[in-house]
Amino acid sequence: MLLSPLGLSQSSAAFSRSRARTAVAILVGACVMVFAAAVYWAALLNSHSYLRSYTQDQAWVRVTQMSRAIAAHVGSMFSGLDYTLRDLARDYETGERSTFLRGVQALQTTYPSGTVVQVAVADAQGRVVYSSLNTSEQPPEVVSIDDREHFQAHLKASPPSGMYIGPPVQGRVSQRWSIQLSRALHDRQGQFAGVLVLSLSPQFLSQQLQSIYDNPRDVILLLRDDGTYLARSQRQEEVLGRRVSADWQVMLSAAAEVQGSYGPVTGPDGIQRLYAWSRVHDYPILVSTGLDSQAVHDPLNQAIAQSLWRNGLGTALIFLGAMLTAWLAFLRWREEGQRLQSEQRFARLSQEVPGGLFQYGLDAQGNGVLLFSNPGFYAVHCIDATAAHGDLQALVRRVHPADVRGLRASIAQAIEGRKTWVHKYRVVCPVGGTRWLHGHAQPQPEQDGALLWHGYILDVTQDEALQNALRQSEERLRLTIGAVRDGLWQWDCEKDTVVWDARCYEIVGRPDQSLGALGLSGFVEQLHPADRARVCARLEQHLAEGEPFRVEMRLRQQDGGWRWVESRGEVTLRDAQGRALRMLGMHSDIQERVDQTHLVSALLDRGSALVLVASHERQMVYANQRAAEYFGLDPHRPPEPLSFRVMHGSQESFERFGPLYQRLKTEGVVRAEWELRGGDGRLCWFDMQGTLLDPSDPEGNVIWTLFDVDARHRAEAELAQTRLRMEAVIDRFPSGILVSDSRGQTILAANDMLVSMLDVPLPVSDLVGQRLQHLVEHLPADLAELVNADAQCAGQAEGEPGRMLYALPSGRHLEVDRWPLRKDQRDLGWCWVFHDVTDYKQRESQLEALATSDPLTGARNRRAFLAQMDMKLERLRLGMGRSFALIMLDVDHFKRVNDTYGHAVGDEVLKQLVVAVTKELRKEDMLGRLGGEEFAVLLAGLDQDVALKRAESLRQTVERLRVEVPGQAPIRFTVSLGVCVVAHSDVSVALCLERADAAMYHAKRHGRNRVTCWSPSLSELDAA
């Protein structure tokens, strides 16, 4: 088709519409991307909010549990002080002053120094009549406490109350801050006779509270119900004598609640904390614990900040990519406009080209279609372009009848072979006779797979006439050089006609002389593309400067192959200005010689190796093509003498390479890997093999064969660095690391922390690479069984991540995590991580002991004992446990011990009793102190007969016990025991305690120091 202004205008309009659609698509894509980013950020921020809420909830759970445990411990402590005050008050009321003084002394020695500030007695008018601080025989100075709260509380109390816990005050006798624990005194008629006061140091309570928390920013408060501070774990001196704020009093004033939480609240020290409080059972005291809010939230906030930074960077990169895409679209628009402009220029240019241009292709049915043609195409065929535009039949009608079949055959052959079309044919013009036309078209594949031929048609009528004349002259010349096997050629420079003789056509395998008349361009088309520039350059030098024209080149054969020919020629005729008019020459067939040369070249240049030849002075004398390209040499010219020094990275490398030449002289062959510098200055590793070119001449040249191994060298170096970094991470990891292969059989990695933690008597170097069983042999039996079980799961590809807690015989506790190592669904191995959690378990055990043990004897306290008994009874009722026996144990005449020796000795008696009884119990048995000198024992899984024997054994053990008293004879004492066997039909703990208690009192009434078993008949005898 012809390119017209109308066609170009339509193309411009289509381009504008396409540009508008692309702009709309970019705008819509930008809106979608902004919306997607908004949705993603909303989801991200929502997940951050959930993590903050979850962290807050876990902190509340922790602080609540701490407040409960500390409240239980404080309750046990105040219960013991209450019991001591009651005994002292009874001794004072009965008038046994010596017993009272011994009890005061025992109280002060039982607790750490400074815990009890003083013990004082005030009469009914509030005058202090006794103070433990007054050690002189002189009567104390009259001091009155009738205005103190702890005195007024008993003065106005009706009926008499128990122990009263007063606020911290500065003592008028001691001049120190103390908490006043007081109990009313009464005369024999029951009238109010005064107050017994125990002044407890707040500093002692503060030190006890400080030992619980590790973080100095956490706080524990001990408060009265009215909000008065009793003690504070830190900064206590700022709150003594004060109350909590009104807001806190409102939160703590709900008497019906035993525990609660509040916060976050900022304390007097300016630190914001999460608080939880619990009431102390049986006492008007609250324990409030506060966790530092900043310590709870800081790790999460840092992680969220990093997440926001990374996601923000990712979002910015995505938007940057979108902007880059828009920029590329803009460049596409600009290129499309430039293409349209180029088409317009080509349309104008094609109208000025001599001859005709065309584009030929096939439609969907396989028929030939003329897709493009310029006006000159129709002019050379003697056809009106406007009348026969695109009409192939009109063109065929112009072709000479004798050439139609050949033309069709050449077109069909080009289409079938998808190759270049070249053909010469005649057309018959209405005016002017016959014309010779030469056509040439090159196939070009399109993006959709279609194949188009782009070509030209030239009028070669004059050239054809010249060729006929040349053929006649050639025939005459052939008779002259008949014995010569070279072909003769002639070039008419003015008419641009190249004529070959038959031998030339025979050389290229065209005995039918199918090429016809050739111009210089046609001759160049027959040359190999790689030879065209070189041949043309030699020809121009000969025409312009008279240089001899002798060149080796490849000519296209009829079968599509190439034939090596040596062409020689000379200008035989020039005009007055020296321009060449005619040139004559010969073609010689050199294919056999070139094949031999190429065979040698293939061995050296086509292989993957770099080949160098060096003299014994280490000068390069030859380089194959690959070596020349790598070292920056001209592959078409022999290298000038060049020292091997330029290929080495340094002088030191060049000198170290020298001894290899000495080895060559003695061994004949040498091989090494070396780093050499290429033409671009980059250093690469090569596997080099040197061989003497002449084995009989050690001083002769050396052939070096080089293979590029740089990638392998660098990969090995990077792998070594990666392995070193990984080993450093494992060695410095704060926990024990053990890595095995995917079958769980071989140890791949371990660190010193693992060896130290597990007490393995081997260094890490002796473990890595060994079988896992080699390590297991040095582990405790239980831990070895755990590792073996994990290894078996790993070997069967059934193992999953897990965590276990394990106690070592040394007393340490380990937490063991196990993970499978996988990548792209491929098992790489297994990893065990051993964490030392001994400190954590010890703190946990300390808190549990504080909440469940009696502070004096170390036995279970009443609450813990009853809870354990209730759990055993419930399991018995559900059929999940065995029957058990309950023994009630009471010290006979214990008050006599206190009255005679003092409370300190009495406390020592109770301690020795617990030690002796505990030694007689089994691991599954339990001892508890229910109050005063009364104890209880749970014997698991025993019937009545065995329980009686065990109780009798305990009685005899206590009977043999001796308690040493300095300066006096050892104390001997006995116990009375009541036994009750608990069955699944028993309904409550209280009933079981009542039965065992009845049996114990039966033993006391019948002589003490004996064992009695409860039965229904026993209740009837007691009633009688």
pLDDT digits (tens, 9 = 90+) for 897-919: 999 889 999 999 999 999 999 99
pLDDT of residue 480: 57
Half-sphere exposure of 87 (CA within 13 A, CB side): 26
Residue 680: CB partners within 8 Å, gap ≥ 6? 632
Least confidently predicted of 153-162, 477-486, 756-765, 996-1005:
477-486
Catalytically annotated residue among 464, 474, 908, 933: 933
Average pLDDT over residues 631-657: 78
Query: What gap in Å lies between CA 719 and CA 110, rounded to an integer?
Result: 68
DSSP 912-939: HHHHHHHHHS-TT-EEEEEETTEEEEEE
More confident residue, 828 or 171: 171
Q: Looking at the predicted structure, is the pLDDT value of residue 934 above 90?
A: yes
Over residues 287-312, mean pLDDT: 88
Q: What is the pLDDT of residue 962?
A: 93
Residue 571 pairs in a beta bridge with 583
**Fold equal for 60-295 and 608-715:** yes
Q: Residues 874, 880, 885, 890: is their CA dihedral positive or negative?
A: negative
Mean pLDDT of the chain: 83
* Residue of higher predicted confidence among 130 and 255: 130
Alpha carbon distance 665, 752 (integer Å) = 52
Percentage of the chain exceeding pLDDT 70? 89
pLDDT of residue 975: 95
Q: CB–CB of 239/232 below 8 Å? A: yes
Tell me which of 773 and 145 has the higher pLDDT.
145
CATH homologous superfamily for 356-461?
PAS domain (3.30.450.20)
CB 426 within 8 A of CB 403: yes
pLDDT for res 140:
66
Tell me whether residue 576 is exposed, middle or buried, using C-beta atoms within 10 angstroms of its C-beta: 0 to 12, 13 to 18, 19 or more.
exposed
pLDDT of residue 886: 93
Please write the tens of the pLDDT for every residue from 339-363.
777 777 776 666 666 778 888 888 7
Q: d(Cα 378, Cα 381) in Å, to the nearest integer?
A: 5
Mean pLDDT of 394-411: 86
Q: In this predicted structure, what is the pLDDT of residue 484?
A: 56
Average pLDDT over residues 298-323: 89
Among the residue ranges 103-117, 347-361, 548-562, 877-891, the one predicted with the least confidence is 347-361
Give the start-to-end residue ranges of the domains of the chain.
60-295, 356-461, 487-596, 608-715, 737-841, 853-1023
Give the integer Cα–Cα distance in Å for 11 and 690: 66
C-alpha to C-alpha distance for 490 and 583, rounded to whole angstroms:
6
State residue 2's pLDDT score. 41
CA distance 226 to 243: 8
The pairing of strands 219-224 and 669-677 is unpaired
End-to-end CA distance of the chain: 136
Give the pLDDT band of residue 3 (cuts 50, 70, 90).
Answer: very low
Q: What angle do CA 537, 540, 546 make, to 5 degrees?
A: 120
Residue 933 annotated as catalytic:
yes
- What does the DSSP 8-state code read for residue 861? P
The tokens describing 819, both together, are 């993970």
The helix (run of H) or strand (run of E) holding residue 75 is helix 5-93
Rounded to an integer, the average pLDDT of 434-455 is: 85
Q: From the CB of residue 838, how many other CB atoms can be counted at a distance below 10 Å? A: 15
> How is domain 853-1023 classified at the architecture level of CATH?
2-Layer Sandwich (3.30)
869 DSSP 8-state letter:
H
Give the residue-averaged pLDDT of 995-1001: 92
pLDDT tens per residue across span 43-57: 989 988 888 888 888
Residue 789's contacts (CB-CB under 8 Å, 6 or more residues apart) are none
Name the CATH superfamily, with its identifier, for domain 608-715.
Answer: PAS domain (3.30.450.20)
The tokens describing 793, both together, are 């799961």
Within 10 A of 703 (CB to CB), how many other CB atoms are there? 15
Percentage of residues of the chain with pLDDT beyond 90: 14
- CATH number of this structure's domain 60-295, picked from the four choices 2.60.120.680, 3.50.50.60, 3.40.50.300, 3.30.450.20: 3.30.450.20
Residue 425 clears pLDDT 80, i.e. is over it: yes
pLDDT band at residue 598 under the 50/70/90 scheme? low
For the segment 624-635, the average pLDDT, to the nearest whole number, is 79
Q: For residue 890, is pLDDT > 90?
A: yes
On whether the 737-841 domain is CATH 3.40.50.150, my answer is no
**Sole residue written with tokens 């709309």:** 24
Q: What is the pLDDT at residue 1? A: 43
Both tokens of 291, joined, read 């966790």
For 759, residues 6+ apart whose C-beta sits below 8 A from its C-beta are 808, 810
* Residue 331, pLDDT score: 85
3-state secondary structure of 116: strand
| Residue ranges of E strands in 800-839 | 802-807, 813-823, 826-836
Confidence of residue 244 (pLDDT cuts 50, 70, 90): confident
Report pLDDT for 917. 94
For the ranges 818-832, 990-1004, 1005-1019, which has the lowest average pLDDT? Answer: 818-832
Average pLDDT for 90-118: 86
CATH architecture of 487-596: 2-Layer Sandwich (3.30)
The answer for residues whose C-beta is within 8 angstroms of residue 128's C-beta and 6 or more apart is: 120, 121, 122, 140, 142, 143, 144, 145, 172, 173
976 vs 597, higher pLDDT: 976
